[in-house]
Amino acid sequence: MVWGVGVSQKGSVLHWKILIGLLCGVLWGLIAPSVGLDAWTTHWISPIGDLFVRFLKLIAIPLVMTSLVLGMTSVDDRSQLAGMGFRTAGFYLLTTALAILVGLAVASWVQPGTALPADLREELSTRYEIQTGMDGAVDSNLENRSWMQFIADLVPENMMSALGANDQMLQVVLLALLFGLGLLQLPTATVRPVTDLFKAVQDVLTLFVSWIMQIAPYGVFALMAHVLVEISGDGEDRVWSVLAGLSWYAGTVVAAMGIHIFVVYWGLYRGIVQKSFRGMLQTIRPAILLGFSTSSSVATLPVTLDCVERGLGIAPRISRFVLPVGTTINMDGTSIYQAVSALFIAQALGMDLTLMQQGTILFTALLASIGSAGVPGAGVVMLVVVLESIQVPVEGIALILGLERILDMVRTALNVTGDAVVASLVSATENEQAETVISDV
Ligand code: ASP
């Protein structure tokens, strides 16, 4: 097994390289427009970031498939697998529900929507009108989709097409779970060729990861330069005035995320894992930084797996089950963003949300977190569903689109952190279970 060659083995070096790449990218992005290099950056630097993300995405689906199937088949005892499955789902649901509650509480307290000046509200709505499709054409597919249809859509019509789209990762997960269950039902000797093939594929993918990570600092540099040049394309003055107008909103999102990390995660981690939370965050820094710069938890998965296994010492049979599932269904950053955004939009439009409507946000944002793909921009698309469920005009999304790119980066970093925290929680409770079994014998 060659998992982790060069990722967390030289993790701290890699982390510094990525950080330097990120800072240089920010500097470049800030300076380039003022020296007339913005178009050059778009044509020649942005594609490097694109190349890096494409390489990561290239291996995402086979990695999820092989990790999940091997994760399941490597557990000898079926009841142990069921136990791990329940604990994983339980922790994911718990942390996401708490994330939404934190988001709702902070946004109700801060009331960021009331701080938005009327003229800016007007301007933002008109500016982003075209993107959201003011005439009610905002992703009509999503609006008209019932939850029952959502469940039906989980089952791919065709195995090959399910394996062909990164944004349909839930279908891939379902397929992998079914496949893993199928393999578990058959005699080990019969399925050995298949599991051996999966193992070999996974080893090759692992090697790919170590190659891809060699270019990570340059990729991150290019991604950051691109984002900043794109933002300043609107004119520097405009950027600052929009940022100032939306600062309460962005501040509320970030504050709620901070509370979630340093209260909820800290509490659960210290209580259950009983190790240094700070140390854990430091160990998974490469994954957090990569989540931040790629805005995709799916693309970050290879690195998250590596940090968790080699850095935190979590057994691959646990991480390879928990993380691919988490990347697909656990989005605490996205949930906080959706809860705060829904309240912000309602407040800005002068609507008071009842407790019942806030309960509906809890429920729909929880399902939206499961339904959002770990790709850039998925969270804002699912926000449509949340707003629809509480009868807040979907067009209100126009108000927050100016900050979407940057908030996507922040929420993805939190999504990745949440997956690693839950992997640690599951691992700690698994060990406890194993110890109980041993002491019972
Ligand atoms: N970009 C996020 C992720 O990949 C999903 C989102 O848009 O919120 O985790």
The finding on whether 291 has its CB within 6 A of some atom of ligand 1 is: no
- Position 171 scores a pLDDT of 84
pLDDT of residue 399: 81
Say which residue, 390 or 340, is predicted with more confidence.
Answer: 340
Best mutation site among 331, 332, 385 for ligand 1 pocket (most ligand atoms within 8 Å of CB): 331
- Kindly give the distance from the C-alpha atom of residue 97 to the centroid of ligand 1, in angstroms, as a whole number: 17
Regarding the beta carbon of 374 and ligand 1, being less than 6 Å apart is answered yes
Does the C-beta of 297 come closer than 6 Å to ligand 1? yes
C-alpha distances (whole Å) from 198 to each of 62, 78, 81 are 9, 20, 19
Structure tokens at 77: 């005892």
C-alpha 366 to ligand 1 mean position (Å): 14
Q: How confident is the model at residue 73 (pLDDT cuts 50, 70, 90)?
A: confident
Q: Is the pLDDT of residue 221 over 90?
A: yes
How high is the pLDDT of residue 129?
56
What single letter denotes the amino acid at residue 379? G
Q: What is the pLDDT of residue 312?
A: 93
- pLDDT reported for residue 135: 42
- What value does the CA radius of gyration of the chain take, rounded to a whole number of Å? 22
Looking at residue 417, its pLDDT comes to 97
Average pLDDT over residues 76-92: 85
pLDDT tens track for 233-256: 666 665 566 667 788 899 999 999
Of 169, 430, 158, the C-alpha closest to 325 is: 169
Amino acid in position 438: I
What is residue 143's three-state secondary structure? Answer: helix
* Over residues 308-330, mean pLDDT: 91
Spacing of C-alpha 94 from chain mean position: 16
376 lines ligand 1 (CB under 6 A): yes
Is 334's C-beta closer than 6 angstroms to any atom of ligand 1? yes
Helix runs in 133-246, H state only = 140-143, 147-153, 159-162, 169-185, 188-214, 216-232, 236-245
Which ligand 1 atom lies nearest to the CA of residue 375?
4
- 255-299 pLDDT, tens digit per residue, is 999 999 999 999 999 999 999 999 999 999 999 999 999 999 988
Q: Is the CB of 219 under 6 A from ligand 1?
A: no
Atom nearest to 377 CA in ligand 1: 7
Q: How many CB atoms lie within 10 A of CB 74?
A: 17
What's this model's pTM, rounded to 2 decimal places?
0.80
Q: Which amino acid, residue 95?
A: T
- For residue 389, how many other CB atoms are within 10 A of its CB? 18
The answer, yes or no, to whether any atom of ligand 1 lies below 6 A from the CB of 412, is yes
User: When comparing pLDDT for 371 and 69, which is higher?
Assistant: 69
Q: Is the CB of 293 under 6 A from ligand 1?
A: no
Cα of 117 vs centre of ligand 1, distance in Å, is 29
Average pLDDT along the chain: 83
Question: Measured in angstroms, how far is the CA atom of residue 372 from the centroid of ligand 1?
Answer: 7
Question: What atom of ligand 1 comes closest to residue 372's alpha carbon?
Answer: 5
Confidence of residue 124 (pLDDT cuts 50, 70, 90): low
Distance 85 CA to ligand 1 centre (A): 23
Measure the CA–CA gap between 253 and 200, rounded to whole angstroms. 43
Q: Is the beta carbon of 301 within 6 A of some atom in ligand 1? A: no
Say if ligand 1 is within 6 A of residue 375 CB.
yes
One-letter identity of residue 429: T
The pLDDT score that the predictor gives to residue 438 is 41
Does the pLDDT of residue 342 top 80, yes or no? yes
CA of 77 to the centre of ligand 1 (A): 34
For the ranges 46-55, 89-98, 125-134, the one whose mean pLDDT is highest: 89-98
Q: Could you tell me the pLDDT band of residue 2, with boundaries at 50, 70 and 90?
A: very low
Q: What percent of the chain has pLDDT over 70?
A: 86
Kindly give the number of the ligand 1 atom that is closest to the alpha carbon of 378: 7
Dihedral Cα 195, 169, 254, 279, nearest 10 deg: 0
Over range 26-38, report the average pLDDT. Answer: 89
Per-residue pLDDT, 437: 44
Q: Which residue has the higher pLDDT, 434 or 355?
A: 355
Query: Which residue has a Cα nearest atom 3 of ligand 1?
Result: 374
Question: Which atom in ligand 1 lies closest to the alpha carbon of residue 337?
Answer: 8
